[in-house]
Structure 1
């Protein structure tokens, strides 16, 4: 097994209290003696953030959503006179605010009653008693999002204007509760899930076998929102982009990876994680954003589920509804023809060096919810956005937003990267065979039209379980709707799922692998070779077993066998391949996947049949024991237990602990664990200041075994 972390955790791995932030100095311009002046103000943090549904944010700044008003209480130096005095405001964004690019907003006084559908900038006096005035400030629904400086102004009866610069910045977010916002989401339970829920899940697996793990999204942690705005402002986003969820989500898909902009995460699929943390050890986004903020360096290392969850965190933090999704048997189409090409030699052995396309066991990305005013009507709703650096789009490693409606209909010509996403869920696989004769080109021997995009899932609304959303990405296999989508794609790409007409084969393979085999145990692959003809069939059976990364890339050959198999007319022959733990353990990589490529060549007819079987070994779970309830802010202990399933010791061991219940993140070294030993680990934790049912997520890693996780629920009172 490969995979490595740093030997000693850096000092920033554990925090419980935040460092005090330096507040900007309040400024007040002088007015003419005797004029009306603002003496003080109150931003009404609690009332405003409750009304804007931002009370969970841990930032010291006021966090608001665009498209609705917020209240400010102002005290003047003398009694307010509504007929003589005017209260107004300005919101300034960036270093050189201008009205022309939306970085300067003038909130002029609004006279008379305000309708329920009012959507503009403005200032309205709600009530006044003597020198105390309550003012409603209206933020337009297409405002830029980001960090604003608020300036309050009062003008007296003589036209003399006095300004006060509010010392604290104000954060403005997208607003899925506002019907005028491009991210408006009608259903309340979906807003609760896709915007406000910080307890997430991601999924992984192969084919129809999908497993889930918890992930602490942490979109309300102080470091997250500040980090995202700093990323956007210091990288590639122009001011006007900050008003568009389409542009912001696309830019974030590039900024979450470090390939082009020195962004948040470094991708690594090599199996060697020296100098960083292996991707399977991460259990949440908050620790990643914290490390990136404090070190100012990209965080090592990530794979697709880490990229997807961190992007989901970033989008939810900004107010864009988002969900992390998993697509099993996910195609990576390098040449844009929506066909996955695989090559085999005359004995049926894979020729990996010729395969540039790949089908990942699974791939995770993010869906973001938004309108698409840049496209014709009908393409709003969920959009695929992917931060995993796979292929360049417009010269940058970014993807999306690609409308799911366009992907499903085969409208691959539409922005952004719709063709790539279509291939991920609906490409076909073509197996090519070389005859062994020099200079003779390969011939297609098998076309598989339904083995890509087997299952697409996300976390269910309000539940810690999966929801199948395959029908949102593509029509059912073989349906009229699918044929229409493919014919539509044919207008833009040649030879989609229509490469050759296959000849009828009278020999078939059926393979069976066991479920739930723990790593370190033996198992069998059972193959049935069936003859559906009325004649004898003499076959050459080839079995190539290789350890594979979840991306479908083969790592090491585990076993290769070549056998002669005779099958009677209308009969079948069984072949059993037994793998001992000693046969495969040293060759496994990260997620303990083994790929079996089985080929049958019929001597009488030269028919070639190729089947592939993906097998995943189980890893042990961590059993976590915690108190049923704890008080907010209190210290408590969690006990973890798990058994080493391997027949050799585990070295350089770490336990990592994170979750929505915890103030901070811990990563601690642990002793060497003996072969098949059961160990206990106790960790001291601090409960968050938030009440309710929360979770604790723990992971274990070592040189020999990684990707071991567990979780527990706890009630904070």
Structure 2
């Protein structure tokens, strides 16, 4: 669409087109020649200063700006901190007489008034938002420093240089500059004061996401890969796809709110399609993803949402997006997380007259766990003290201002019950503080409450610890376990608790019976039901009909009666995968081959079939997935035993012609900075023979 036709779409609403494109190539930026401004004195005719080229001094800048890990051949710096450029001229520079400019443009229609066109003058009288000074003169070149404000727009800038009265440098993509948020700058709204925290929440590419249940926590490794080749461009592509104005991209609050909407595809063709069922034939099962890199590459290359994701996948991809752009972030897991559809601070569990769960009329749900993100930022839009960690949730649950998004929500405000502050405070507060109320429904649909539980929701909230592969309990950041003040404050801002007043019963029921309060045995009439449920608390089907998968669990519900006192208890057992054991055959060396064996033990009494194995190596190998049907087991295992583990083996998979076709030099394909990584690995594709009962199965990669 031409510029004229695009502008027509905005006629009557804006005077000019709202610029939302950062990656679009611009054919015409600036005139070739800079006009001459008369000066009292000048150089002799024919001796005009001409800029020959601009050197971005990548190696000089990346260390101070903590951007050396980016696998990109462009300069990446952080705002609020000076960086250096070397300007090469046709002759030595005269400080007293010569005037030249360095210009930075972002977007397809840059304007000074929108801060999308920045001009830094040297030797002139004009001073803009970005400032600079000459640091060193050497022959016909000048080393200059450029200082950007800590509120600058984040994105990709085109760089030009021109002398007064001379020609301007041509459009050279190699001189493009990426500007990011700066957690090391005191005046940046994402500033984080602790170096260990900055290393963890901005620079660490590997993470742990906690799953399971509060009494039996499991974990999943996740490769964020925010510095991998193509990821920075993919993140800016997401910004462009969202339609976010370029002029708003320096505001961290607007940035993360946009990201929480764009990581899901629910209403804006964002990154991930959600699927909480058990049919993933049209895409990739959420449990098979090992990191964010492949997802973001696929979305960037196709522009089509990637299938499929669930809460931890949304959180992992959003964490990559935030860290890539320089926003400190972490993934948080809330165990027993409430999804309150009615907004009344209680989860309504409805039982039929025969005491079996009424799944049809129960609209609220309790997720075994739910993953979201926290981003660190100052909230200038809220009263003082509401900054710090903010909840940002990309999982599409409820709409916020018309879009499926959530946050940023101040964690401090949630703990204090200040749900009046934007954004989505009521929803997040309910996720960690709701009551669970059990009702009996009669044949007319009338509900009678018989049990209230105030300590079920938000039992445990975990994140990865700083600098260690260990848990950090952040539950007390969200709630005070024995303090009702936050609940009263929230109710004062319009949240309805609607807790029924029930007499305290003398008997309770759990999965194991307890009669310690009685001198004599008591008669209890009870019903025990079992169903297969997803981790979101949604029932899949009856126990005997449902095939279990690793993202399912067993839910046991006990309901009964003792001398007129209703009794109920519920227990969810999560299913765990067998642990994977990873061993390396050699010590990792740069530019050297190595092989990795991944093994696990099948604890079942039958052979596993239809196995999918995924593996990813940060900065070296994008995720590879291999599928195995379990057929022709004996032949493959026999041929594997005959082959040494030296990279020349072939275990008989029909997919593979020979090992040489599987060997790829990943070092050459990962870009200019690949040789800085400790894992330079030309790995063949994963191989796996089907697992039999209690026999370790190995994958040679």
Fold match by TM threshold 0.5: yes
Aligned length: 631
Is 2:272 aligned against 1:265? yes
Is 2:553 aligned against 1:599? no
Q: Retained in 1: the 8 A contact 2:340–2:346? A: yes
Aligned match of 2:464: 459
Q: Retained in 2: the 8 A contact 1:624–1:710? A: no
Is 2:552 aligned against 1:549? no
Aligned match of 2:453: 448
Stretches of structure 2 lacking an aligned partner (at least 5 in a row): 1-24, 37-45, 641-649, 652-661, 668-673
- TM-superposed deviation, 1:676: 14
Aligned match of 1:569: none
Match of 1:691 among 677, 681, 687: 677
* Structure 1 residues 27 and 652, CA gap change in structure 2 (3 angstroms): farther
Aligned match of 1:439: 444
Q: Retained in 2: the 8 A contact 1:342–1:430? A: yes
Aligned match of 2:51: 38
Aligned match of 2:548: 588
Deviations 1:85-131 (A, max 9, x none): 1232221110111122221122234899xxxxx99511211121342
Is 2:537 aligned against 1:537? no
- Secondary structure at the residue paired with 1:629? coil
Deviations 1:377-425 (A, max 9, x none): 1111000001111111111011100010011111111111111111111
Mean Cα deviation higher: 237-246 or 101-110? 101-110
Aligned match of 1:13: none
Q: Retained in 2: the 8 A contact 1:90–1:104? A: yes
Is 2:666 aligned against 1:653? no
- TM-superposed deviation, 1:657: 0.9
Stretches of structure 1 lacking an aligned partner (at least 5 in a row): 1-21, 113-117, 512-526, 559-582
Taking the aligned partners of 1:510 and 1:338, their CA distance within structure 2 comes to 24
Aligned match of 1:568: none
Give the alignment of 1:387-398 within 5 angstroms: 387-398=394-405
Deviations 1:601-659 (A, max 9, x none): 12x3x111111111123321222221352222444322222233334443333221103
Aligned match of 2:32: 29
- TM-superposed deviation, 1:533: 4.4
Q: Retained in 2: the 8 A contact 1:110–1:123? A: no
- Secondary structure at the residue paired with 1:190? helix
Taking the aligned partners of 1:337 and 1:677, their CA distance within structure 2 comes to 61
Taking the aligned partners of 2:422 and 2:698, their CA distance within structure 1 comes to 39
Aligned match of 2:158: 149
Taking the aligned partners of 1:386 and 1:165, their CA distance within structure 2 comes to 43
Mean Cα deviation higher: 324-333 or 130-139? 130-139
State TM-score, norm by structure 2: 0.83
Taking the aligned partners of 2:296 and 2:440, their CA distance within structure 1 comes to 48
- TM-superposed deviation, 1:356: 1.1
Is 2:234 aligned against 1:227? yes
Deviations 1:652-695 (A, max 9, x none): 33221103263332222334179999988989675653334899
* Structure 1 residues 27 and 88, CA gap change in structure 2 (3 angstroms): closer
- Secondary structure at the residue paired with 2:232? helix
Deviations 1:560-605 (A, max 9, x none): xxxxxxxxxxxxxxxxxxxxxxx69x54244241111111212x3x
Q: Retained in 1: the 8 A contact 2:86–2:144? A: yes
- TM-superposed deviation, 1:347: 2.6
Measured on the aligned residues, the alpha-carbon RMSD in Å equals: 3.4
Taking the aligned partners of 1:622 and 1:601, their CA distance within structure 2 comes to 45
* Structure 1 residues 211 and 440, CA gap change in structure 2 (3 angstroms): closer
Aligned match of 1:518: none
Q: Retained in 2: the 8 A contact 1:548–1:589? A: no
Aligned match of 1:510: 510
- Secondary structure at the residue paired with 2:169? strand
Deviations 1:518-541 (A, max 9, x none): xxxxxxxxx315273466632211
Give the alignment of 1:199-598 within 5 angstroms: 199-434=206-441, 436=442, 438-439=443-444, 441-475=446-480, 477-478=481-482, 482-496=483-497, 499-511=499-511, 527-530=512-515, 532-533=517-518, 537-558=522-543, 586-598=546-558
Aligned match of 1:50: 63
- Secondary structure at the residue paired with 1:191? helix
Deviations 1:473-503 (A, max 9, x none): 111x22xxx311011011123542x612221
Mean Cα deviation higher: 82-91 or 308-317? 82-91
Is 2:567 aligned against 1:622? no
Runs ≥4 in structure 1, deviation > 4 angstroms? 22-28, 30-33, 533-536, 673-688, 692-696, 698-705, 709-712
Higher relative contact order (Cα pairs below 8 Å, separated by 6+ residues): 1
